[in-house]
Structure 1
């Protein structure tokens, strides 16, 4: 990665390009024997520039394949921000109108920031999405007196500090294939099972339990056929369309409810005493309460980013390393987006955008073009309103998440654990993650793996003292302390009294 980082930080041109620009090296798709060869060539000739303008058609092009991750990312964004806003609204006594308006507000904020950063200034920064693992912790934060503005600002500050010290890429380098593969397997399996259960519960709730079975079977057959035809990147639009049409044809109720419009755009409305959140501005206590959660949230970024980068590594052709998502740049993008969004009044807490980057990697597309389309789709959905209703309809939602994120996670995990001494580490990650959470599983197994107790012993010897012992041990202790403070260990009371049940 050092060669790639140096080239991106410098003039963006590697020796294998002969000093020519992207425009000079670009060829029309008609000159290639297959679409796959054309897309691979596009990745190999791109020269992303950090903190300098990257312009459409000059530094990258738009392709039909970019619409697929953009669509998947928009659907995932609506769903995840809705879940995040609802998790805050319930304990604060805020109604459905608050959730809807804040989601629309966040979609516009996300669109503008994604356009500026991932589409223009930081083309190797993955889009800043939503931090799903934080959702179950939000009621605890609210009950203890935490404030969403304090929470968001601290996450952004800690994220910038970690990125400046290149902590994210360091942790990625210290994570073996076995540890990373096991983490992907766990996340993919748990996510797939969860969405299947959600689909079944939805079908039973409307009195048509057979619909879930029909949709899931159809999705499996569709995915297998697309895999056979090497068109798996089409799984999101075809899967969502198929699921929606089948559900409606079999009698599932659906109607559009969200009319076109704009949410309140004034941050003072959202942070007023009697409007928006009805919380006013945070005090010092609010920052103290959310401190351990903010540390934990940023600590979760490294395994998240690592898992997403893996898809590019296994999908992109050789000599396309310049276009890999840069983990530290992604953390900068997430931090900037978090601070800006929280100050403006949004309910989102961010992390690397999985529902975008996974299908983008499968489709062999770089980040910036799809980022621009995602930004446009998010803003259109927020203002138009009706697409938001369709995206959160359970059959469409579950199908999108299964085929765009969770099944590809399983595939990538199995791919990473095929070779070398990886199965022990992978199994321990799954075991430890099931005990507490994926952050605990990742940090514990990375420590054991780097110490040479499991996995590849030669790799452990090559890491040196800091990589083998000091960094993994310090990281594990910090994470365990953060989790212990807020009571995340099963059966162990929280160290801080205000978090004890």
Structure 2
């Protein structure tokens, strides 16, 4: 039989599918197939294929791992603290008591859980969770003093954020930010955050007359963090540090008791926006929107450096070929904007941003967003209904060490990693300097302009930029942001340009 006849009798082999076309389930391998746990987690990141605006289902598109519980726990602790801070900052000048703050925090935990599941866990798996806009906290007393209405403030933030997301403005500004600028921003945020938490812990020690406890807790936390770093188990830093800090403080005599009993907050939005209930403000008027307009612009302008820091930290921690699962800035803005809009309509006190206390531990643990997001939603529901975990989460020995090891020290490490190569130190120094002068949003905008013009940093990078990216976009952004800050009195030593914001 000749070769031609033989070939016609043999069955034709089926074409093998390209590996990129295989589904997550087809690429999946159990952890036992890898030499180390880290290899397994990195392989999981590389084989996932998130579906944007389509259902992403557990076990079909991703799996739950023990490491997902760590960022979920850190995120829940951070959420209780940050929403409590915003609600309390609003409550004091409005004459609202602690009962309002507690009820609104529980309400916000339940609202957050719904949007976490819907977006980060289901429809937009590369959108970071919509957390709390911490840098806004110092501005809230000014907003209240000017007659600002929290619903009007939240709705404008949602509207401006959605416009920026739809126009892809967030990712555009991120692409214009060099490694030096971003690294300097991370260094500043990490250092300021770390020192502030240390000061808060020592202030707590003075209040209870036991200043030795903060010293012991922080020293032992440093030793634990160093040991975990040496063993390659840094992703365990948050839970172990919380247990260590709380146990040491209690054993040394620090007072603690559970006082928040189980229950549900009022779920009726009309209660929260009644004239004699909830916020006791009624619904906003046209004047209410005009008053908060500059602050809303500033809040959304401050999103980009916040989002960029979280995305860059993820890029540093993840292995190669994981672009598909990395945080998408524009999708995160969509998520935060929609969550902000509905949260404000429902009566919540939260002002949304990228959820840093989730993203940073998740990146360290080398885990994608969706599975940990669902666990975060579960923990938020448990904390909001059960009540008792809220007392533990806001106890200073637990809270401070959780934020230090889970967010601020990793930010410092990421900033140093980004500024150790190339001509990045000049830009990093200027962004730290200018952030200390006003705030991180001002420092970020000014340094992008100087860096892209080639006055500092890498001159070769500046020459490669188009005229639009070199000075037009950075210049317009800096002028707009500075004008808004000047109008509401945020530039040190300069009275507010708008009289109603002067004090």
Is the TM value for this pair above 0.5? yes
Partner residue in 2 for 1:433: 435
Partner residue in 2 for 1:45: 47
Partner residue in 1 for 2:96: 94
Q: Following TM superposition, by how much is the alpha carbon of 1:160 offset from its aligned partner in structure 2, in angstroms?
A: 0.3
Q: Tell me whether 1:259 sits opposite 2:276 in the alignment.
A: no
Q: Following TM superposition, by how much is the alpha carbon of 1:18 offset from its aligned partner in structure 2, in angstroms?
A: 2.9
Equivalent residues in 2 for 1:252-401, closer than 5 Å: 252-401=254-403
Q: Does structure 2 conserve the Cα–Cα contact (< 8 Å) formed by 1:65 and 1:363?
A: yes
Name the CA shift for 1:142/1:477 in 2 (closer, same or farther; >3 Å). Answer: same
Q: Following TM superposition, by how much is the alpha carbon of 1:463 offset from its aligned partner in structure 2, in angstroms?
A: 1.1
SS of equivalent to 1:53: coil
Q: Does structure 2 conserve the Cα–Cα contact (< 8 Å) formed by 1:81 and 1:130?
A: yes
Distance in 1 (alpha carbons) for counterparts of 2:219 and 2:429? 29
Question: Residues 241-267 of structure 1, C-alpha deviation per residue, up to 9 Å, x if partnerless?
Answer: 000000000000000000000000000
Partner residue in 2 for 1:464: 466
Q: Does structure 2 conserve the Cα–Cα contact (< 8 Å) formed by 1:43 and 1:320?
A: yes
Q: Tell me whether 1:216 sits opposite 2:215 in the alignment.
A: no
Q: Tell me whether 1:195 sits opposite 2:197 in the alignment.
A: yes
Length, aligned pairs only: 487
Q: Given the two structures, how large is their TM-score scaled by the length of structure 1?
A: 0.97
Q: Does structure 2 conserve the Cα–Cα contact (< 8 Å) formed by 1:155 and 1:335?
A: yes
Question: Residues 163-182 of structure 1, C-alpha deviation per residue, up to 9 Å, x if partnerless?
Answer: 00101100110000000000
Q: Given the two structures, how large is their TM-score scaled by the length of structure 2?
A: 0.96
Q: Following TM superposition, by how much is the alpha carbon of 1:239 offset from its aligned partner in structure 2, in angstroms?
A: 0.2
Partner residue in 1 for 2:410: 408
List alignment gaps of at least 5 residues for structure 2. Answer: 1-16
Partner residue in 1 for 2:7: none
Distance in 1 (alpha carbons) for counterparts of 2:50 and 2:407? 26
Partner residue in 2 for 1:6: none
SS of equivalent to 1:330: helix
SS of equivalent to 1:418: coil
Distance in 2 (alpha carbons) for counterparts of 1:456 and 1:17? 39
Distance in 1 (alpha carbons) for counterparts of 2:20 and 2:131? 36
Question: Residues 129-179 of structure 1, C-alpha deviation per residue, up to 9 Å, x if partnerless?
Answer: 000010011011011110000000000000000000101100110000000
Q: Does structure 2 conserve the Cα–Cα contact (< 8 Å) formed by 1:443 and 1:475?
A: yes
Question: Residues 68-123 of structure 1, C-alpha deviation per residue, up to 9 Å, x if partnerless?
Answer: 00000000000000000000000000000000000000000001101110000000
Equivalent residues in 2 for 1:118-157, closer than 5 Å: 118-157=120-159
Q: Following TM superposition, by how much is the alpha carbon of 1:16 offset from its aligned partner in structure 2, in angstroms?
A: 7.6
SS of equivalent to 2:21: coil
Q: Following TM superposition, by how much is the alpha carbon of 1:311 offset from its aligned partner in structure 2, in angstroms?
A: 1.4
Question: In structure 2, which of residues 54, 57, 70 is the aligned counterpart of residue 55 of structure 1?
Answer: 57
Further displaced range: 386-395 or 16-25: 16-25
Q: Does structure 2 conserve the Cα–Cα contact (< 8 Å) formed by 1:78 and 1:388?
A: yes
Q: Following TM superposition, by how much is the alpha carbon of 1:17 offset from its aligned partner in structure 2, in angstroms?
A: 3.5
Distance in 1 (alpha carbons) for counterparts of 2:356 and 2:415? 15
Distance in 2 (alpha carbons) for counterparts of 1:253 and 1:396? 13
Moved over 6 A (4+): none
Partner residue in 2 for 1:481: 483
SS of equivalent to 2:131: coil
Question: Residues 14-34 of structure 1, C-alpha deviation per residue, up to 9 Å, x if partnerless?
Answer: x98431000100010000000
SS of equivalent to 1:66: helix
Partner residue in 2 for 1:9: none
Distance in 2 (alpha carbons) for counterparts of 1:147 and 1:364? 40
Partner residue in 1 for 2:5: none
Question: Residues 315-335 of structure 1, C-alpha deviation per residue, up to 9 Å, x if partnerless?
Answer: 111001101100000000000
Partner residue in 2 for 1:181: 183
Distance in 2 (alpha carbons) for counterparts of 1:18 and 1:156? 37
Q: Does structure 2 conserve the Cα–Cα contact (< 8 Å) formed by 1:17 and 1:45?
A: no
Q: CA RMSD in A?
A: 0.7
Distance in 1 (alpha carbons) for counterparts of 2:463 and 2:302? 27
Larger Rg: 2
Q: Following TM superposition, by how much is the alpha carbon of 1:427 offset from its aligned partner in structure 2, in angstroms?
A: 0.3
Distance in 1 (alpha carbons) for counterparts of 2:76 and 2:261? 18
Distance in 2 (alpha carbons) for counterparts of 1:161 and 1:57? 34
Partner residue in 2 for 1:229: 231
